[in-house]
Structures are given as C-alpha cells and as structure tokens.
Amino acid sequence: MNLRSRWLMHLTSFAFVLLLLIWTPPVASQQPNLWAQAQWWVACTPPSAHAQAEFQAVRAAANEASLQNVQLCQSPYVPNASATVVQGPPRPVQVMTPFGYQVAFQPSLLPVIFYNPSFFAQVDVLTNNPNVIRGILAHELGHHKLGHVDPGAPLALLSHPYQKELDADRFAGVVLARLAVPAADLDLVQRQVLSVFGSPSHPPTAARIEGMREGYVAGGGKLDGSSPPSTSAILTQVRRWY
Ligand SMILES: [Zn+2]
C-alpha cells in the first residue's frame, strides 16, 4: 500500500467517524414508543357511560376550548378525584433529517381527571344529588384550565396549594351557576370531604365554600340569602359526636 492510498484510507475513516458524530440516525425515534403506549393503557380505565355523560355536560358548561382534550378515567388509586397529566399515546410528528422530512413518534402529555368509582358511587347514594359530583368534576376541570398541573406553566404550577384549591373552587362555582344548580347545593359539594381545618394541600371547608360562592355569583348565580357556615359552626357539628 503506497503512501497516497494509506492517506486516502485515513481520510475516509476520519470522514466516516465525523459523519457518525454529527448525524444521529432518526431510526430510534421512528419506532412508536411502546412503553408510553403501555403506560397509557394501564393508567386509563375508561369511565362508565354515566360518568362520561356527566363529565361532558360539565365540560360543555365550562365552555373552554383548552378543556376539550381532557380525558376522564376511573382509578381505584386516587382517594376521590384528581386532575393530573399522564404520558399519552405517542404522537406522529414530521422531523427534518438529512434525507428530507420523515415521520417520527414523540411522547405526548395528556390532561386527565381520575375519579375513584367507589367514592363517586358513595357520594351519589349518600347525597342523592347529582350536582355534588358535577361540582367535583368542575373543580378538577378548573385545575386544568388554570394550569395547576401543567409542566408547561411553571408559575401556575408553583402557586400556593391553598390558592390553587380556592381558584379551582371559584371556577367550579361559575360552572355550577351556568348549570343552574341551586345555591343550596353549593355547601354540599364541599361538605362531602370533611376537612374542617384543612390540610397542607387543601384549605378549610368554610373557606372553600366561600370560594365556590364567589364563583357562583360571578357566573350569574343568585345566592339564597343564607350565610355560609363558619369553621366554628362546622367544628361544633363534628364535636358533638365525640
Ligand atoms: Zn383541588
């Protein structure tokens, strides 16, 4: 092998290595992300027909374009109901490669509301009032509308937990007014989770009732003149059983 051909060989190898370094073949991303797909199917058990119908009615009253892709799923792993995002089915996108545009699959985040069917059934039977579940669904939709669980909205995501809950309650109040829910039912929505003094994540019941009432009035609802229960009034109710 003469010097010239050896030189050419080195140059070719160098060019080949350089090409490998600067060009990552899009082969890996062309495959659908089966793991993401599996996660999605495991995570979302479709809602019952009744739950879906109620959810759609509440979402229609909310009348927000950004809520149209929120999915309702049932899950025994949430205590009551929860707004969150899950890894959705891979979404095909066009990517630019050295060989022109190609289709690749990217993971997607899907806004979801999980509800615990035993909790909803219990609330439904105990209250015998469909507006209570509607209020809960409207509250969870509020978390999505206000960006409380959206990794792309860090400001909303990081706001104080109490503020998030009160804002979602206010949103729910507006939706309940649009659904022509009687003012007397507002208390019931909050009383179904008895939390007199609140918790690290949720404000006390009395404050939440206030928040929902504010939204109700903002949504055109008329309060019935009754005053909202105070924390001490609810506490008295609790204490008499001990
Ligand atoms: Zn909440």
Dump pLDDT digits (tens) for 98-143.
888 888 887 778 899 999 999 999 999 999 999 999 999 999 999 9
Tell me how far the alpha carbon of residue 55 lies from the centroid of ligand 1, in angstroms.
16
- What are the sequence ranges of the domains in the chain? 24-235
Tell me how far the alpha carbon of residue 25 lies from the centroid of ligand 1, in angstroms.
44
Tell me how far the alpha carbon of residue 168 lies from the centroid of ligand 1, in angstroms.
6
Q: Indicate the angle between helix axes 231-239 and 205-218, nearest 10 degrees.
A: 130
Reported as a single tens digit per residue, the pLDDT across 178-217 is 999 999 898 888 887 767 777 788 888 888 888 899 999 9
H helical segments located in the chain = 3-22, 27-30, 34-43, 49-62, 117-127, 130-145, 154-157, 161-178, 184-191, 205-218, 231-239
User: Over the chain, what is the mean pLDDT?
Assistant: 85
Tell me how far the alpha carbon of residue 139 lies from the centroid of ligand 1, in angstroms.
6
- Residues 3-24 have a mean pLDDT of 75
Instruction: Give 101's strand partners.
Output: 96
229 vs 59: which has the higher pLDDT: 59
Tell me how far the alpha carbon of residue 70 lies from the centroid of ligand 1, in angstroms.
16
Reported as a single tens digit per residue, the pLDDT across 35-87 is 555 555 567 899 999 999 999 999 999 999 999 999 999 999 898 999 999 88
Q: Which two tokens stand for residue 30?
A: 């062309």
What local confidence, expressed as pLDDT, does residue 42 receive?
61
Q: What is the rounded CA–CA span in Å between residue 66 and residue 202? A: 25
pLDDT band with cut points at 50, 70 and 90 for residue 144: very high
